[in-house]
Structure formats: structure tokens, C-alpha cells
Amino acid sequence: GQGVEQPDNLMSVEGTFARVNCTYSTSGFNGLSWYQQREGHAPVFLSYVVLDGLKDSGHFSTFLSRSNGYSYLLLTELQIKDSASYLCAVNSAGNKLTFGIGTRVLVRP
């Protein structure tokens, strides 16, 4: 089966960075996706990774280590508006997603 684990909460300071960790165990892995979700709104797609290593997308970067079942989302130059929940999801056959519970990131001044 699939298990996706993330910390519940993370606090950081405006202008610095935040790293949201995700570990997974899976019987079928086609890739890993990250979504941002604000209260009362839909999850918004941020990044999809399938190869090991760091994928730099500017404000958001993602890292994947398939052998360790580990990924992280790195948010740099944090702004207050980055406060949101960040969801890690494993993509399996058919593009079906298995989500973690989400990490609530709070950026304070």
C-alpha cells in the first residue's frame, strides 16, 4: 500500500526559507507531486518530480530521493503570503494521487 508522511506544522520567518519534508512508502511509484492549498480553496499544483535530485523552480524547489522514499519542498525568500498548507502526493498508476495530511506553513514577520 501507500503511506505518505509529513509534519503537521512548520513556522518560519519572512525573508528566510522553509523546508517541508515528506517521506513515503509505496508499492507503485510513478512520481511525486507538491500542491499548495489555502483555507477554503482548491489544492494548486506546484511541482512534479520523478528523477532523483533537486529541481529548481525559483521560489519553489523540490528534491527527491527514490531510494530513501524522501522528498522535500523548499520555499526560499519567504513572504507572508506563502503561509498555506503544502501537500505531498505520490503518483501511482493512472496518475492516481495518494496524499499526505499536509504541512501548515506559517510565515511570520
Partner 1 sequence: NAGVIQTPRHKVTGKGQEATLWCEPISGHSAVFWYRQTIVQGLEFLTYFRNQAPIDDSGMPKERFSAQMPNQSHSTLKIQSTQPQDSAVYLCASSLENQAPLFGEGTRLSVL
The residue among 79, 108, 84 whose CA lies nearest residue 12 is 108
* Residue pair 71/49 in contact by the 8 Å Cβ criterion: yes
Asked if 81 is part of the footprint of partner 1 (rule: CB under 8 A), the reply reads no
Side chain identity at 79, as an amino acid letter?
Q
Q: Rule CB under 8 A: say whether 41 interacts with partner 1.
A: yes
CB nearer to partner 1: pick between 96 and 108: 96
Q: Which stretch binds partner 1 (CB under 8 A): 15-23, 51-59, 67-75, 92-100?
A: 92-100
The yes or no reply on residue 44 touching partner 1 (CB under 8 A) is: yes
Residue 26 interacts with partner 1 (CB under 8 A): yes or no: no
Among 33, 61, 62, 83, binds partner 1 (CB under 8 A): 33
Residue 91 CB-half CA count within 13 A = 14
Beta carbon nearer to partner 1, 18 or 32: 32
**Which cell numbers in the block locate residue 30?**
510513478
- Listing DSSP states for 14-42 in one string gives TTS-EEEEEEEE-S--SEEEEEEE-TTS-
Q: Which residues bind partner 1 (CB under 8 A)?
A: 33, 35, 41-45, 48, 87, 89, 91, 94-102
